[in-house]
Amino acid sequence: MLPLIKSNFILNKIFSCVDIKIKLNLARFNKTLQKRLNVDMIDFRRLIKRYIKGERNGFAKEYNSYNDELIFEGGYLNGKRNGKGKEYNSAGELIFEGEYLNGEKTGFGKEYSNNILIFEGEFLKGKKTGKGKEYYYNGTIKSEGKYWCGLLNGEGKEYDKSGNMIFEGIFSFGSRIKGNGKEYDFNDKLIFEGKYYNELKWLGIKKEYNNKGNLIFEGECKNNRKNGKAKNYDSYGNLIFEGEYSNDQKIKGKEFFENGNLKYEGEYVCGKKWNGKEYDKEGNLIHEIIDGLEKSLALNNCDNSEKNEKEDIN
C-alpha cells in the first residue's frame, strides 16, 4: 500500500506522529521508504534502543544511505558525535580516528590517506590546532610543531623524505616568517642559521657543501644572497678565498694557492679581478691589475735587469 502513495509530503505527514522506533523498523528493509522518509542508514541492532526523543546517544554506527557502506562508528550525545570515533571514506578506508565534541573533531586524533597515517595531533572544531606531526607516505616525519587552523603556526620543524631535518624555526600559517631559524641539507648539515622573512634567508650565516659533504663556502647572507664577509674552500678544505661579497659577487679580498701562499689581493667588479696584485706560488709579485687590465711586472723586472747589466759593463 505504501508504494502507491507517491507524494513524499503526504508520507511524511502520515509518519510525522509515528514513534521513531516504529519508523526505523518499517524502513529497515525498504530502501524506497528510507529515501522518501529521509531515514539515515544506521546500525539498527545497536542504535534502535539508544534513542532519547529521536536523538542518538551512546555507541552507534552510521552508514551511507546509497551503498550501505560504514562511514562512522563511535560515541554520540544528543544526536552529535561525542567521545572517541572513527570515520571512513566511500571506499571503506579509515580516514580519521580520534576524539569528538559536539559533532566536531576536538582533542587528539589521527588522519589517514590510503590507510597510511599522515597526521597525528590535536584538533579543535575540526581543524588541526595545537601540537602535531605530519608524515610522508613512506612513514617518515614531514613536519612537527604547533598548528593553527590546519597549518604550522609558531615553532616548528620540517624534514625531508629520508627523515633528515631541513628547517627549524618560526612559521605563520605554513610559511617561514621573520624570526630566527636553521636550515639543513640532505646530509643533515647546517647550511643556514639566521633570520627568515617570508621564506627568504633574510640575514644570517650561510654554508655550502660539495657532494662529498665538505664545506666549500661560509659567509654572511642577506635576502637569500651572499652579502658581507665570507670564505671559500676547495674540495680538500684548503682556504682559497677570504673577503667580501655583494649580491653573490666578490667585491674585495684575497685568493690563495693550495700551499696557503697569497695568489691575489685586491678588488673585483662583477666577479672579475679589477684593481689588485697577483703573485706566483713562491710569493713573488708577477702582475698588477688596474681597471681590469694586467700589467706584467715580471717583464719590467727583466728589462730593468738587462739595463743594469749594461750599465755594469760600461
Rounded distance, CA 282 to CA 262, Å?
9
Pairing of strands 116-124, 127-135: antiparallel
Phi, psi angles (nearest 5°) of residue 118: -120, -15
Rounded distance, CA 226 to CA 19, Å?
77
Q: DSSP letters of 197-252? A: ETTEEEEEEEEEE-TTS-EEEEEEEETTEEEEEEEEE-TTS-EEEEEEEETTEEEE
Q: Does the pTM of the predicted model rise above 0.85?
A: no
**pLDDT truncated to tens, each residue of the chain (314 aa)?**
344 444 556 656 665 666 555 666 665 555 565 555 554 444 444 444 444 445 678 888 888 767 778 899 999 998 899 999 999 998 889 999 999 999 999 999 999 999 999 999 999 999 999 999 999 999 999 999 999 999 998 889 989 888 888 888 888 888 776 567 778 777 778 777 777 776 677 788 888 888 788 888 998 888 888 999 999 999 888 999 999 999 999 999 999 999 999 999 999 999 899 999 999 999 999 989 999 888 765 444 444 444 444 455 44
Rounded distance, CA 261 to CA 91, Å?
71
Rounded distance, CA 149 to CA 161, Å?
24
C-alpha distances in Å from residue 302, one per residue of 188, 288, 299, 308, 313: 55, 16, 5, 10, 17
3-state secondary structure 83-121: EEEEEECCCCCEEEEEEEECCEEEEEEEEEECCEEEEEE
What is the pLDDT, as a whole number, of residue 306?
A: 47
- Contact between 265 and 254 under an 8 Å Cβ cutoff? The reply is yes
Rounded distance, CA 180 to CA 312, Å?
70
In the chain, what are the domain boundaries?
253-314
Residue that is written with C-alpha cell 655583494 in the block: 246
Rounded distance, CA 267 to CA 129, Å?
54
- Contact between 68 and 62 under an 8 Å Cβ cutoff? The reply is no
Nearest to 221 by CA among 185, 189, 187, 181: 181
What is the pLDDT, as a whole number, of residue 64?
A: 79
Q: DSSP letters of 237-285? A: S-EEEEEEEETTEEEEEEEE-TTS-EEEEEEEETTEEEEEEEE-TTS-E
What is the pLDDT, as a whole number, of residue 97?
A: 97
Rounded distance, CA 232 to CA 245, Å?
11
